[in-house]
Chains A and B, each alone.
Chain A
Amino acid sequence: MFTHVDAVAGQLGRGLLLTLAMTALTFTGAVAGGLVVAVLRICPVAPLRAFGAGYVTVFRNIPLLVLLVLFVFGLPDLGLLYPLFATVTTAMALYWAAFVCEVVRSGVRAVPRGQAEVARALGLGFGQCLRHVILPQAVRPMVQPLGSIFIGCALSTSLAAAVGVAELTGQAEFLTLRYDQPLTSFALTTVVYVALTLTSGLVAGRVERKLAVAR
């Protein structure tokens, strides 16, 4: 076992903070970006729909690790050198936005077509129809998939360790190098990750029940 409990706890704590910040920023960015792309994909303008489809195809089909390496080591060659944390979080938000887009789109598709037709018959435009009729009904079926995406975001932050961000997994690597107890340090981080994802699963369940009567 580790003998330097304080040092270990402090190091893992710092890593956890970074993981939480990264998860929150990634998820927020992904939801914002995903909403925009989803709107593009269902809007009446064909070129915008094509752009949205292209975005999803590109970002959903590149492995996240490849994307991270491209962002971290490729962008500086184009003269774009940003802090490591910002670069990695941006890449992850762009990646998860593609998934959020598809969740939003299927949520919207789950609303019966008649609802949109009625809204149009009442004289609502595309934006008004989305805001007042479609989205309020589409949110509920989106909650659980979004919860899954949150878990995906949280777990995928561990890939950031491979490109030098000292989040939870990165700190576990440092601990392994220092104390040579790989199983212990990874077991500790596993516990933290599971605690994080179980909590988010519970929250998603709560939110879903809250929204149950919305339709």
Chain B
Amino acid sequence: MRLSRPRPALGAASATAALALTLTACGGSATLPAASGSSGSAAADASKTYDEILAVAPVAPAGQIPAGSLMAKIKKRGTLIVGGTDTSALFSLKDPVTGELTGFDAGLAAMLAKYITGRTSTKLVQVSVATREQLLRNGTVDTVFATYSITPERAKKVDFAGPYYSSGDAILVKKANTAIKAVDDLNGKTVCTQSGSTAANDIKDFAPKSKVILFDGNSQCVQAVKQGRADAYVIDQAILVGTQYRDPSVKVVGQPFTTDPYGIGTPKADPEMKTFVDAWLKKIEASGAWAKLWKATLGTAVTGAAPKPPVVGSVEGS
């Protein structure tokens, strides 16, 4: 072992930490000492770039916000009212120290707020699967960012801008596992999933030679992977990244191998909002801000490069 090696790494890490602290006083710096340089500074980098991405996010030219539209109303109010959650790690999670929401959904919501009002000011209204459509229809929220899957059924009640992200079944393995990198590698392996999830069928379709075990809940599946009873755990990526965020002994590998498109809910009563959000989405996807935001949020849990964003309007219902 070379003595000189850890030093530059540590120096870089603490420099990043100092930068991150001055910029944001972020909670991410707490992870710095544990990891010897690399992963710690990556976490700090992520939260640093997260704020940088928001700082350089575009603002709509005044001509794009017609008087009397929902956007004009939001601009006058100065705050975007977002339906979402504060408990979804890497999508929309409240930082207990700063009280700020961070994550992919939260970042997009802040960018949209900035695009309309010029500031990243959002107000969160907690929504659940049962209340999302209702809150959009009665005008309680301007928009919904909540890992909201686009379905034709829901599209009858609300408009969907996007899809802005393509989730789907992904793979979780033990940190030390290097044998499983994609769904093909599951053949001949023991794979577990939750007994109520249709992921069991997807595993059989994509890796017919795998052995599927059904367990009752998320924690049992994670436990089975950690204990070696199962080689991998397959379920929706949004659940897996949340698990990985809380439990560093496991990791999510590769991109989802099925398609579950997430959309941005907008009220049906204000169709101009959907068009507006679609245009904004195309803009940030073209500028690379979308990919940067993915890297700073979901990219900290998922291995590999940022995926290509799904084509806006490509899904039935969007």
Contact = CB atoms under 8 A, between A and B. Distances in A.
Contacts of B195: 161-162, 173
B200 A164 contact: no
B201 A164 contact: no
Most interface-central of B192, B195, B201 (chain A CB within 10 A): B195
A177 interface: yes
Contacts of B227: 73, 76-77, 81
Q: Which of B215, B216, B229 has the most CB of A within 10 A?
A: B229
Contacts of B229: 72, 76, 81, 84, 164
A69 B216 CA distance: 10
Nearest to B223: A73
B214 A178 contact: no
Interface residues of A, number: 17
B223 A84 contact: no
Contacts of A81: 227-229
B315 interface: no
Contacts of A178: 200-201
Nearest to A75: B227
A48 interface: no
B287 interface: no
A164 B213 contact: yes
B216 A76 contact: no
B140 interface: no
B193 to A, nearest CB: 9
B123 to A, nearest CB: 40
B38 interface: no
Contact of A177 (B198, B213, B216, B220): B198
Nearest to A170: B214
Interface string B222-243: 0110011100000000000000
Nearest to B215: A164
A15 B215 CA distance: 16
A177 B202 CA distance: 10
For the residues of A in contact with B, the DSSP-based class is helix
Interface in A129-167: 161-164, 166
At the interface, is chain B mostly helix, strand, loop or mixed? mixed
B258 to A, nearest CB: 14
B220 A73 contact: yes
Contacts of B212: 166, 174
Interface extent on B, as a size class? Answer: 10 to 19
A162 to B, nearest CB: 6
B220 A84 contact: no
A178 B199 CA distance: 10
A177 B212 CA distance: 13
Contact of A174 (B214, B220, B223): B214
Contacts of B216: 162-163
A77 B201 CA distance: 30
Interface string A162-184: 11101000100110011000000
B215 A177 contact: no
Nearest to A77: B227
A89 B48 CA distance: 53
A162 B217 CA distance: 10
Nearest to A83: B229
Contacts of A161: 195, 214
Contacts of B198: 177
B200 A177 contact: yes
Nearest to B226: A76
Interface string B189-218: 000100101101100000000001111100
A164 B223 contact: no
A28 to B, nearest CB: 25
Contact of B224 (A162, A164, A173, A177): A164
B190 to A, nearest CB: 9
A68 to B, nearest CB: 11
Given A69-B220, A177-B200, 6 more contacts: A76-B228, A77-B227, A81-B228, A162-B215, A166-B214, A173-B195
26 contacts: A69-B220, A72-B229, A73-B220, A73-B224, A76-B227, A76-B228, A77-B227, A81-B227, A81-B228, A84-B213, A84-B229, A161-B214, A162-B215, A163-B220, A164-B192, A164-B214, A164-B224, A164-B229, A166-B212, A166-B213, A166-B214, A173-B195, A173-B214, A174-B212, A177-B200, A178-B201
Interface of A: 69, 72-73, 76-77, 81, 84, 161-164, 166, 170, 173-174, 177-178
3 smallest A-B Cβ distances: which pairs? A76-B227, A164-B213, A177-B200
